[in-house]
Structure 1
Amino acid sequence: MKVRTLKKDKVNIITLGCSKNMVDSEVLSGQLLANDIDVVHENKKRDHNIVVVNTCGFIDKAKEESINTILEQVELKKRGRLDKVYVTGCLSERYKNNLEEEIPEVDAFFGTMELPSILKQFEADYKTELVGERLLATPKHYAYLKISEGCNRTCTFCAIPLMRGKHISKPIDELVMEAEKLVRMGVKEVMLIAQELTYYGLDIYKKRMLSELLHRLADVKGLEWIRLHYAYPTKFPLEILDVMRERDNICKYLDIPLQHASDRMLDAMKRQIKQAEMDELIATIRERVPGICLRTTLIAGFPGETQDDINELKSFLDKHRFDRVGVFTYSHEENTGAYQLEDDVPQEEKERRAQEVMEHQQEISYKLNQEKIGKVFKTIIDKKEAGRYIGRTEFDSVEVDNEVIITSDQRLKIGAFYNVRIEKAYDYDLEGVVVP
């Protein structure tokens, strides 16, 4: 008599959207693994039987990608390739009732803060002692470190507070412990992320504590690069600039989303800052941290925006010569402050304006990169492709910034640092050789 053997479950996690979602997926993976459940990220082997789709619901394109991914997994379930499909993340948080009605084939939907509920589906327990334990979805030499959740800001274009709730800081000791665990796993670079980095600590310490956190993280042995992402410009805590200047392992790099430069647009977006104040802040940052790399993000096509606003934005870019710029088209999101405004810029015009701004910045980026030729930069090696090594300097973050393309006769170690002299420079990439 044959005895039927039950195949052990294997879970594949598909992550969409931002790096904050990636961290959530890594934490879920760590919890599943601790409960003796086999788990992988973005499984190429297709030998899994359960899928968790971690969705993004930030803007229209992201929502569309999330829904298409869910439908693809549901189709695999219908064909008998999957046993279960679960959905979590921002889209699920925001539209759970609608999704349950429209895609009933999904086994369960979960919000952004329902990790214990997801684990129950696997008859697994949330293990509080596993703070900082994660199964990294990134290469092992870098990781994202989420220092807080949610946001208290009221920017009229943004739906994040609807999906992530109010700002909640993680305690400093917990973050230091997490960083130490990451270093033991081989991580050499951490990127600090949050919806609003500079608000850190106000809720639990009753004052801004990002500078103290940076000092504590900079003391972690083996942590060679600490990088700051998403620093809100209003009431910017200037003391963090002193820490950046003083501590060698804090990258001279700051991602500070400004969104626009026209006062008219800044007011409509409720950014609580004027262009003149941004001018002053940028000058102060560059004065106190010489050589710092500044990255910003901008929105094109916000309700009421005109070509004059775009021209003002381009003049602002000329004035400040940002090292890195990303441009998004405005997405008209229900229940946000701007939703009551008429979405009066056609999508095609939004995209044209975004392209106009990016082409303007492209010239600035090219000139700034040309100035790097002949200079030597400490460079981390991220990967090897087509016989060439791909790395980054301290002035470049993962995926969004410049890459350094290195041709080398010697074998370079992935995740190791080398001194690289820049030989050629393009709009967004550099070429170089390793030097002693």
Structure 2
Amino acid sequence: MKSKTLKKDKVNIITLGCSKNLVDSEVLSGQLQASDIDVVHENKKLDHNIVVVNTCGFIDKAKEESINTIFDQLELKRRGKLDKVFVTGCLSERYRADLEAEMPEVDAWFGTMELPLMLKKFEVDYKAELIGERLLSTPQHYAYLKISEGCNRTCSFCAIPLMRGQHVSKPIEQLVAEAEGLVKKGVKEIMLIAQELTYYGLDIYKKRELPRLLDALAAVKGLEWIRLHYAYPSKFPLEILDAMNRHDNICKYLDMPLQHASNNMLKAMKRNITREAMSELIHTIREKVPGICLRTTLIAGFPGETEEDIQELKDFLIEHRFDRVGIFSYSHEENTSAHLLEDNISQEDKELRAQEIMEVQQEISLEKNQEKVGKTFKVIVDRKESGRYLGRTEFDSVEVDNEVIINSKKKLEIGSFVNVLITKAFDYDLEGEVM
């Protein structure tokens, strides 16, 4: 595209929010690079002249961060450091009209499905033949693989369908080709992501086909770990567990957001499942896949939540002893069915409740980590920091889970696998020696 500078354009992409946004940014980067446009992610050098801010609109804190980031980039533009500021992603999809009025200095706004339109601003066309081609922003040895877009669920607290639309699965052949391309780039671990993994295939194959997809991906040579994120508990297809048992390269790891454990709250959240059914599912999963790591995500402070509901949630955590837990404070989102309810819990109380719940989980996490002392685990080496290597077991995903501090007298290659004897346990991390 033409800009006021005589230098060749250089585009910096800033990504906020979830891993699904990150994949969108990587796809945009791949398209720009294929059209001979210089592109970087999260550039610290400030030697670019165009910025694309890929925003998150999920909850209040994420929206605030997105807006502050846009303002920061507009300030750089006002100071003559940038020529153009473009905004895309979920916040732009959801609040474009309001944001355009508030920030007229932004050069263009795009929704979540408007990549071809954005490319027109760079005077290039969308290249359909590049499907699956991405310029990775992650370290070379791992990547996210988005298997579908959108969501058909009607959870009362969630605005994702408003921003991402209805569920659309990618064909198995396309995903296998994308995985093969990632392996050629050096990727050894892929994390399957979607708004809802277990719905995969219902739209294009007329039945749930995540197990068939897993079989196909497990056959990709060079793919050592396949990890599953964001499974919905209601009508969970148990065949997923059979696929996990069939293939050594499918991690015994499942991220299944439950959101709450009180039946009152589950009903108000429109989760289509009861506490009793969730308990039965958890027992079945652990019975079918011994040693599996279960991660879940919870919400504190939903409208009408009582102290009794919080106690039920704590009791549920103590009963089931999840390996990993994340928690959000409830965010009152416009145009969701929960927005019709009174947001009757203060932000301070929401955060206190979240803290109480995490204190229960912290103790469980420490106990589970202590059980690993004296055992040896296969660990992927993620990075070197302050003279020590940091990695993860198959039971830990990137950024959200435990890390292993690896003590080694020998130089280790980033992205390699090593066997580590665990010698120390902390609340959320482990330490060990290379065997």
Report the TM range for the smaller structure's normalisation: over 0.9
Aligned pairs (5 A) from 1:86-165:
86-165=86-165
Letter in structure 1 aligned against 2:125: D
Aligned pairs (5 A) from 1:269-348:
269-348=269-348
Task: Report the secondary structure of 2:357's partner residue.
Answer: helix
Letter in structure 1 aligned against 2:55: T
Aligned pairs (5 A) from 1:39-78:
39-78=39-78
Who is 2:379 aligned against?
379
**What displacement does 1:316 show?**
0.3
Alignment partner of 1:194 is 2:190:
no
Give deviations 1:303-339, integer Å, cap 9, x for gaps: 0001100000000001100000001100000000100
Alignment partner of 1:365 is 2:386:
no
Who is 2:28 aligned against?
28
Identity in percent? 77
Alignment partner of 1:430 is 2:430:
yes
Give deviations 1:85-113, integer Å, cap 9, x for gaps: 00000000000000110000000000000
Q: Distance in 2 between matches of 1:5 and 1:135?
A: 25
TM score, norm. by length of structure 2: 0.99
Who is 1:6 aligned against?
6
Give deviations 1:198-248, integer Å, cap 9, x for gaps: 000000000000000000000000000000000000110100100101100
Who is 1:80 aligned against?
80
User: What runs of 5+ residues in structure 2 fail to find an aligned partner?
Assistant: none
Who is 1:351 aligned against?
351
Who is 1:207 aligned against?
207
**What displacement does 1:28 show?**
0.1
Give deviations 1:286-305, integer Å, cap 9, x for gaps: 01001000000000000000
Aligned pairs (5 A) from 1:211-226:
211-226=211-226
Give deviations 1:89-139, integer Å, cap 9, x for gaps: 000000000011000000000000000001000001111111110000100
**What displacement does 1:68 show?**
0.2
Cα RMSD of the aligned pairs, angstroms, is 0.8
Who is 2:262 aligned against?
262
Give deviations 1:23-66, integer Å, cap 9, x for gaps: 00000000000010000000011100000000000000000000
Letter in structure 2 aligned against 1:306: T
Task: Report the secondary structure of 1:390's partner residue.
Answer: strand
**What displacement does 1:285 show?**
0.3
Q: Distance in 2 between matches of 1:232 and 1:5?
A: 50
Q: Distance in 2 between matches of 1:94 and 1:375?
A: 49
Letter in structure 2 aligned against 1:59: I
Q: Distance in 1 between matches of 2:257 and 2:78?
A: 43
Alignment partner of 1:403 is 2:403:
yes
Q: Distance in 1 between matches of 2:304 and 2:105?
A: 41
User: What runs of 5+ residues in structure 1 fail to find an aligned partner?
Assistant: none
Q: Distance in 1 between matches of 2:222 and 2:424?
A: 32
Structure 1 stretches of 4+ with a deviation exceeding 6 A read none
Letter in structure 2 aligned against 1:364: I
Letter in structure 2 aligned against 1:349: D
Who is 2:248 aligned against?
248
Q: Distance in 1 between matches of 2:155 and 2:5?
A: 55
Q: Distance in 2 between matches of 1:204 and 1:364?
A: 41
**What displacement does 1:6 show?**
2.1
Task: Report the secondary structure of 1:205's partner residue.
Answer: coil
Task: Report the secondary structure of 1:202's partner residue.
Answer: coil
Q: Distance in 1 between matches of 2:204 and 2:243?
A: 21
**What displacement does 1:5 show?**
8.5
**What displacement does 1:264 show?**
0.2
Task: Report the secondary structure of 1:380's partner residue.
Answer: strand
Task: Report the secondary structure of 1:203's partner residue.
Answer: coil
Q: Distance in 2 between matches of 1:225 and 1:370?
A: 25
Q: Distance in 2 between matches of 1:252 and 1:5?
A: 52
Q: Distance in 2 between matches of 1:79 and 1:368?
A: 52
Letter in structure 1 aligned against 2:51: V
Give deviations 1:133-185, integer Å, cap 9, x for gaps: 00001000000000000000000000000000000000000000000000000
